[in-house]
Amino acid sequence: MSKEKVQDEPEGPRNFGVFLTHLDDGDAVIALSAETHKLMAALAAEAERIQGTVKGSLTLKLDFKVEHNGVVGVNYSIASKEPSPARGGSVFWLSAGNNLIVENPRQKKLPFDVSRPNDEGARDPLTERAAPRGV
């Protein structure tokens, strides 16, 4: 009598870790472990390189296919996202012709005339070296 009552009650969820150990005859857990180790090494190296904090992610995707007779097929994929190396940026302006340019088109130019010879005693920092200073 109590056996029938137990069968009528819902089972409830089972341990997901046990499911993972059986997925692909245990190869899924091995692949997840290897990918986690690889990701942690990449994160640690990048954090050390920039002396800061970096982020990454590991994704396990499970695809289920349930048939009318109760058979369930499970396929999986593993994806990791390693941190992108920090890169510098640049600022550009848009020209009237919609091209990127390095000078602000609204910025007025200073009146330098490089074709004119230097004033007496003036130094051209591009062509001359400054005299050494005494200590």
Query: Going residue by residue through the chain (135 aa), what tens digit of pLDDT does each one get?
Result: 455 555 678 888 989 999 999 999 999 999 999 999 999 999 999 999 999 999 999 999 999 999 999 999 999 999 999 988 777 788 888 888 888 888 888 888 877 766 655 555 556 666 666 556 665
In this predicted structure, what is the pLDDT of residue 94?
87
In this predicted structure, what is the pLDDT of residue 1?
47
Residue 77 lies in a domain: yes
In this predicted structure, what is the pLDDT of residue 126?
62
Residue 100 lies in a domain: no
In this predicted structure, what is the pLDDT of residue 85?
76
Residue 111 lies in a domain: no
User: For 17-36, how does the pLDDT look when each residue is reduced to its tens digit (9 = 90+)?
Assistant: 999 999 999 999 999 999 99
What is the domain count for the chain?
1
Residue 31 lies in a domain: yes
Residue 50 lies in a domain: yes
Residue 40 lies in a domain: yes
- Residues 100/94, Cβ–Cβ less than 8 Å: yes
Domain of 72?
10-81
DSSP-assigned beta bridge partners for residue 47: none
Residue 66 lies in a domain: yes
- Residues 43/82, Cβ–Cβ less than 8 Å: yes
In this predicted structure, what is the pLDDT of residue 67?
96
H helix intervals, the chain: 2-8, 16-22, 27-50
Residue 65 lies in a domain: yes
